[in-house]
Structure 1
Amino acid sequence: MSPHHDVPEAERALRRSSGSRRVAKHRLTRRNTVRGAQLVGLTAALAAAAGAGAVGISPASTATATSTSVNPSLESMTAARIERRELGSRDMSRFDLSLETARQNAAQLAAARNAKLAATATLTERRAIALQAAKAASAAKAAAAAKAAAAAKAAAKAAAAAAPKVVLPTTGYHLTARFGQGGGRWAHNHTGLDFAAPIGTPIRSVMAGEVIQADFEGAYGRQVKVRHADGTVTSYSHMSAFTVSVGDTVNAGTQVGAIGVTGNTTGPHVHFEVLPGGGDPIDPEPWLREHGLNP
């Protein structure tokens, strides 16, 4: 026979009820322990996040936490969560600080760039103004130079128009020998007019033309020849010095040399000849009179 057969049914029911209550009480104790540990962990996490030194716990919670034992592994997990949250909070603070610093740096760079652009724009504008002023000044200078050149050209033209077409070869003179005159001083008849004057008296080209000779020419001494527009060549001899060179362009009255005694001469004078087409000399007196001059 089973041992339970001697126990009354009422006692067996009481035992079952007592066992059920013990199991239920054990389960409730475990739930309270777990809940108490979770509540303590959550409270500590909130206190750490808020930066509080101590967290006030309600009497009921304190009593529950005190009256129940905390699982060590759960405490470690809670502490780890709190530490991770603190690290995350610090990392977020550093990130916010870095972000703010980056924004400030970007703002400073933008301000510096804008200032540089403004300075460049100002410099470019100043250079453009200076260039425009320089161009205006250059244009004004060129216009003034052109005006001056035009005025000089007009003055030269007027002077040329007013200048005599033909002049005598020198001034302050007296004639000492004429064309065709014979004598012991020449190898044959005289070929020109001799205008006697003090040494150094200017000798002038009788008409406009080009200098084709300026050299020492034997018995003629220092001699200059000028070819004129109609092909006529005039010659000036016995000079003390030249004042022109071959290739020079002269006007009527331009000095070509000075009275001297070079070559075959008995006194200071200029021996003047006229050679039509550069050929044989002719009498200068009629030629000068034909051009309005009376030597």
Structure 2
Amino acid sequence: MAALTDVLMITYNSPQHVRVSLPHLLSTCDEWTRVWLWHNGDDEETLAVTSELAEDPRVHRFHHSRENVRLTAPTNWLWTESDATYVSKVDDDCLPAHGWIERLRDAHDANPQFGAVGCWRFMEEDFLPDVAGKKIATYDGGHQLLRNHWVQGSGYLLPREMVTRQGPLRQGQSFTQYCLDLARRGAVNGWAYPFIREDNLDDPRSPNTLFKDDEDFRRRMPLTAQALGITSVADWARQEHESAVAVQRASLDLREYSGWRAKRRGARRRLEKLVRGRGSW
């Protein structure tokens, strides 16, 4: 008997994504996996697609918030009301590979110290073996991780017991910050290796991306692109690559993410944004 797993998907104002991503997520669920759906806002087309698919027997709970409350409230809804062994979230623009739940669950079952362990959402050309190899470790059961103190907030698996001990997301706390807090408590985070792929439809290099040109990109611009001032497909593709390189180079020294070291890193990032013309002090 496998451990029960609850997976959250949050939908908002993107029927083109949901028509692809939600049926795909449901198709990856085994008999021990339940899907929780939270729809933000009143976009009629997206709500219609989500409501129809909410009738699927693999959907355990469905909630509609007329206000776009973004990510924190839905995540805490799952984390505080679930009784599953593991919790997860898959974004409505992501397609994790079939078998992702079983493989991550097997890794967790063999290694109780594992925290947030995820699928890899970057492209093959983003992987730097000489850099990442220094952070790849082998654990019980032969399971390997590309260690990092945080993973992205989609396509991960996390023991609900760790969430119960640490508490829900605080207002304004990112998933990255939450993962760092888990690591400070001794959790081992990272990406299963060899990688479990997660196709990110917001990556313009994906064969399934909706970003066909710059105009289309500006119309559907991801929140991170907005924050960075990125307005073209080419710049966004470069940013995706840079993000992949950054997490492979990221230090495993937790002291780097608090105190004066964290402030120094923040200042360096602001300077890099200025040099690229993507921000201001």
Q: Which has the higher helix share?
A: 1
Taking CA–CA contacts closer than 8 Å with sequence separation of 6 or more, which of the two structures ends up with the larger relative contact order? 2
Same fold (TM over 0.5): no
TM-score normalised per structure 2:
0.17
> Which protein is bigger by CA-based radius of gyration?
1
TM-score normalised per structure 1:
0.17
